[in-house]
Structure 1
Amino acid sequence: MGSLNSKHLFFIITSLAVVTLKTFPTAFIKLGGRDTWIAMILASLIILLYVWLILMIHKKTGHYNLLDIYSKALGKWVGAFFACLFLLTILLTIFESAGAEAIVIHTGFQLLTPAWVYVAVTALSGVYIVKKGIASVTITTIIVIFFISISGIILGFLTHKYKETKHIFPILEHGMTAGFFLSTIKILGALSCVIIFIPYLDSVRDKTKLIKHSTIALLFIIQMLIFSMLGVIMTFGPERAEDLLFPKLTQTQIVSAFGFLEAGELFVMLQVVAGWFIRYVVCFFAIMELIRLSGVTIKFKEYYICSLTVVFSYFFSKNLFSMFKMLDYLLYIQLINFFVIPLLVYVLYYIRETRRAPSSSPSGER
């Protein structure tokens, strides 16, 4: 406890929300078309307000234990039930992270190597880092996010000349359609994974600048994702982009410098492999933090989660088209358990705490 600095949350938050939207933009462009980047802005603003509200409630009440907040808001048993749903959704996100990494590498780079090999390597590597403690997780996250960010900046410059602004016009040609709103909801589900950083708050030493550093992290994520989505649409156009499995990978294959340098795939490979892996590690340790906060002692808990990851991530990565269907369901599950339910719980918790506060003042005062 108390081993994190609030500045570290910048890297933890960044690792949670970027990789899904950068790897699978097709899932959102199919619904939002050329206006998907506007849906991204709308969903990002909602998430920014959501995280600010959550952290403000933490600050005003002085409580940073997620499990206690669920219990005080909903009661012991009902709170425990919804807290378990929160934990299980993190577990599903772990399976998604290991499985998605495996199938992207298998499909895009190493077709002859089975996906289960990558799942096993990811699962075992994650156990090694998590067992070393929060310092190991933090250092790994900082290094990975730094190199991913540098890679993204370089790739942005390399692909700039292939982008055409004509593909994003006319803006909102048909207004805000049902597809546009559904795309916004799915993006909101993907972005809601940032709430996984909440279990880390109890380990932050100085909590006075939580809101500031978390807001900076979210603004960094938002601009990155908006430019990434714009880049895909402006490179291919919405009609072609929605037919590509991994548009960012295809986008880098057109990169050429001096007529012979063609290594754009290396940048995406770094972003995909490192991005999914670090998300897996951060989610893995978030579960360890929740178990610690619950006071329950479970021996070999890291190995249990590792075993579950190998089994369920293999099924997630077994078939590419089944994976996209499961991803759609998972986005809605994440929206409910990472956004809708926590928002209601925190609002109810804050109302109960503010009502309880006057009653705790000395009754003899007039």
Structure 2
Amino acid sequence: MERIKESFLVSPFFVFFLIHSMQIGVGILGFQRIIAKSAGYDSWIAVILAGAAVHVIVWMMYKILNDSKGDIIDVHKEVFGKWIGGFFSLLFVVYLMSLSITVLRTYIEVVQVWMFPELNAWVFSFFALALTYYIILGGFRTVTGISFFSIVLPVYILLLVFFPLEFAHVRNLLPILSHSFTEIAQATRDMTLSILGFETLFFFYPFIKNPKSSQKWAHLGVLATTVLYLITMITTIMFYSSGQLDKHIWATLSMFKTIVMPFVERFEYVGVASWFFIILPNICISIWGASRGIKKVFSVQQRKVLLFILPVVWVASSFLKTRQGIDKLNEYMSSFGFYTVFVYIPILFVLTLVIRKVRKNK
């Protein structure tokens, strides 16, 4: 097991911010329309079910990590051996890079549609990734600090709960369970892209002081995410008719239009601009995890790995030009994430249990 200096470790309660900040990104801006296609006004049930599923996966992850000698790279080596384990670790690296590309490109599209149609994606992504490089060079504690401030600073999101309620229709929530279990299950799966990110725990676990004690904070982070998505979904259901919801790609941003203040005429502009602070930890933690994974697999310096990963993310995030292409990227990432989180992790959980039990008996 790699020994990490005490000065690089973070307190267990910071896991709350690391998990929560990774799950809240561009997904919350427009997840409502996606899941409402399957479950309509019962979509809030899908949010609860998705949150419950994440709690189960987080519990499995801690079971895997608590009895390991490090992070997911070490677990793969323990279960599959050096070569096959290294291959699975590299797949996780690709997954994290894909996640950062999806978040960055989707946010750029939001800025282009809502604020600056002529914004050059190459230029914006270059400066965003330059900032990411600077943050990651500061070490994991700096990355954790960004996660903390990304939650504390944009507290204005709480306004979303109150302002649209002036135009809400509570009867939209009725009748409850008007959709089949299959439709609600499909909507739960469609929530995947919005709740991804917590699996980065596999990489930063060794950087937590007394990591076993951080499990309650991880579950609290997931709970906070679920509650925020649930409140947003219920507010959206009461605010929009089914026909309106189907036409709003970014329903959350559209609700920002109801916020009227004497000093801000277009509050949605404030929302889009300051949302960069919310998506920044998504990019930083994902790229930090990917660079650390390659560092451990190939035994190279993390700084040098970053100089390889960042240009790849830059080119990939700037390559997509059309709305259809970005939609496809989100669909592929949703499927990639679903199979990684809800299929592969349970399989890995069972394998680690069996292998450790056999070795213990021997």
Q: TM-score scaled to structure 2, two decimals?
A: 0.91
The secondary structure found in structure 2 opposite 1:24 is helix
Of 56, 72, 96, the match for 1:66: 72
Is 1:195 aligned to residue 195 of structure 2? Answer: no
Give 2:324's aligned residue: 321
Q: Which runs of 5+ in 2 are unaligned?
A: none
How many angstroms does 1:201 deviate by?
Answer: 0.5
1:363 maps to which residue? none
Change (3 A) 1:214 1:268: same
Matched residue count: 354
Look up the match of 2:284.
Answer: 281
Match of 1:12 among 15, 18, 22: 18
Provide the rounded CA distance (Å) in 2 between the counterparts of 1:310 and 1:122.
9
Task: Decide which of 116, 132, 138 is 2:138's aligned counterpart.
Answer: 132
User: 1:5-24: CA deviations, max 9, x gaps?
Assistant: 21111111112112243122
The alpha-carbon deviation at position 29 of structure 1 amounts to 2.1
SS at match of 1:344: helix
**82, 91, 96: which one aligns with 1:85:** 91
Name the SS for the 1:64 alignment partner.
coil
Q: 1:51-99, CA deviations, whole angstroms, 9 ceiling, x for partnerless residues?
A: 012213322x153321121122233332222221111011100111211
Q: What residue number does 1:154 align with?
A: 159
Query: Which of 77, 97, 109 is the aligned partner of 2:115?
Result: 109
Contact 2:65 2:202 in 1 (8 A): no
Equivalent position amino acid for 2:347 in 1: L
Question: What amino acid does structure 2 have at the position aligned with 1:354?
Answer: K
Q: Kindly, what percent of the aligned residue pairs are identical?
A: 18
Aligned to 1:173: 178
Partners in 1 of 2:152 and 2:311 — Cα distance? 30
SS of equivalent to 1:39 = helix
CA distance in structure 1 between the aligned counterparts of 2:251 and 2:274, rounded to whole angstroms: 13
Q: Secondary structure, in 3 states, of the residue corresponding to 2:77?
A: helix
CA deviations 1:10-58 (Å, max 9, x no partner) are 1111121122431221222222221111111111101111101221332
Residue 202 of structure 1 and its aligned partner are, at CA, apart by 0.9
Distance 1:295 1:81 in 2: 11
2:306 matches 1:341: no
Cα offsets for 1:169-189 (capped at 9, x unmatched): 222213224x43222112135
Distance in 1 of aligned mates of 2:107 and 2:203: 24
Corresponding position of 1:362: none
Contact 1:93 1:283 in 2 (8 A): yes
| Equivalent position amino acid for 1:280 in 2 | I
AA of the residue aligned to 2:39? G
Match of residue 27 from structure 1:
34
C-alpha displacement at 1:261, in angstroms?
Answer: 5.4
Contact 1:66 1:199 in 2 (8 A): yes
Query: Is 2:163–2:258's contact at 8 Å kept on the other side of the alignment?
Result: no
Structure 1 partner of 2:357: 354
Q: CA deviation at 1:264?
A: 2.6
Please list every run of at least 4 consecutive aligned residues from structure 1 whose deviation after the TM superposition is greater than 4 angstroms: none
Equivalent of 1:217 in 221, 232, 246: 221
Counterpart secondary structure, 1:306: helix
CA contact (8 A) 1:102 1:115 kept: yes
> d(CA) in 2 for partners of 1:288 and 1:45?
30
Contact 1:36 1:183 in 2 (8 A): yes
Residue matched to 1:254: 258
For structure 1, list consecutive stretches of 5 or more residues without a partner in the other structure: 360-366
Structure 1 residue 226: Cα displacement: 0.8
Q: What is residue 51 of structure 1 aligned with on the other side?
A: 58
Question: 1:239 maps to which residue?
Answer: 243
